[in-house]
Structure 1
Amino acid sequence: MAALETVTLVLGEDSPLPESAADVEDLVCLLRGHIAQLGASTAPDVPALLRAQQLCSESIPMGYVASRVHLVRLAEATQELTAYVEHGGPGPNSKERERRWPRPTVNVLRGTVFALALACLVFAASVPRT
């Protein structure tokens, strides 16, 4: 949960870019900590983890734009790793997910029943009367 909140601070539509270099460093430290925690619950050869660890090992670039770009990339890698861990990645808390059909909404069911009733009505009207 904390990882998603930090990612939302960086990637959220309503969240502004950090103003100072210290803010960028704080957010990068938080994201690195989240990646370390998430990395403990994944296999070491997962591409999302490798990408995130590679970004963690890089130093924060100098300059306003370069540091913010690095921060956004690190947040995206954290988001990808979080999604992997939550949605069936191999780990101690994950379970094998079976493929299921998505559950239809009420409006889809109503439309299907209406179409079936209309087809029955058309068929009944087209049968010759004796």
Structure 2
Amino acid sequence: MGVSGSVQQRDRTVAATEAVALVLDETSPLPESASDVEELAQRLRGHISQLGVVVPPGTTALRSAQQLASEGVPDSYIPSRVYLVKLAEATQALVAAVLAHGVVPVQTVCRRRWWKPRINVLRGVVFAVALACLVWAASVPRA
């Protein structure tokens, strides 16, 4: 669980950081339409909910991010972009809280992963079985 949990936590924080960069990065363009703003807000809300499972419940960053995520996107141009920036900043604070606490995420359902052999291993097994059949057939007395 330790290595897998750390990788999963890192993946969550990296994905959230990338979504935050779409909004806060200086080189990122402003969203053009209301649907673009709504899509980015939904993405950030998803990251907040995923990271909320990892952070301890009483964390200030979690409460403020969840409160902001529960609000709707304003209709007008400037307030909707301001809301998006605030949501991105709250997500960024939540990522920082996850990294600061160093918590391991809640274990998800573990499924047994079967070993997937490489093609050369399969070829070797088929060759070994064929060779064993040939040796066995050659050792049987003829009538």
Provide TM-score, normalisation by structure 1.
Answer: 0.68
* AA aligned opposite 1:85: V
Q: Which whole-Å deviations, capped at 9, do the CAs of 1:62-106 have from their partners, x for residues lacking one?
A: 10000000000000000000011012x26335xxxxxxxxxxxxx
Which secondary structure state, in structure 2, belongs to the residue aligned with residue 19 of structure 1? coil
Q: Which of 19, 41, 45 is the aligned partner of 1:6?
A: 19
1-structure distance, mates of 2:89, 2:65: 9
Q: Which residue of 1 aligns with 2:42?
A: 29
Give unmatched runs, 5+ long, in structure 1: 94-130
Distance in 1, Cα, partners of 2:61 & 2:102:
12
- What is the root-mean-square deviation of aligned Cα atoms in Å? 1.1
Deviations 1:38-73 (A, max 9, x none): 000011110000000000110111100000000000
Structure 2: runs of 5 or more not aligned: 1-13, 106-143
**2:79 maps to 1:63:** no
- The AA in structure 2 aligned to 1:80 is A
Q: How many Å separate the matches in 1 of 2:30 and 2:58?
A: 32
CA distance in 2, matches of 1:70, 1:28: 9
SS in 2 for 1:81: helix
Aligned pair count reads 92
Q: Is the 8 A contact 1:48 1:77 kept in 2?
A: yes
Q: Does 1:91 align with 2:103?
A: yes
CA contact (8 A) 1:35 1:53 kept: yes
Runs of 4+ in 1 over 4 A off after TM superposition: none
SS of 1:54's equivalent in the other structure is: helix
Asked whether the equivalents of residues 43 and 90 of structure 1 are also in contact (C-alpha less than 8 Å), the reply is no
Q: Relative CO higher for 1 or 2, CA cutoff 8 Å, sep ≥ 6?
A: 2
Q: How far apart, in 2, do the equivalents of 1:51 and 1:39 lie?
A: 11
Letter in 2 for 1:55: L
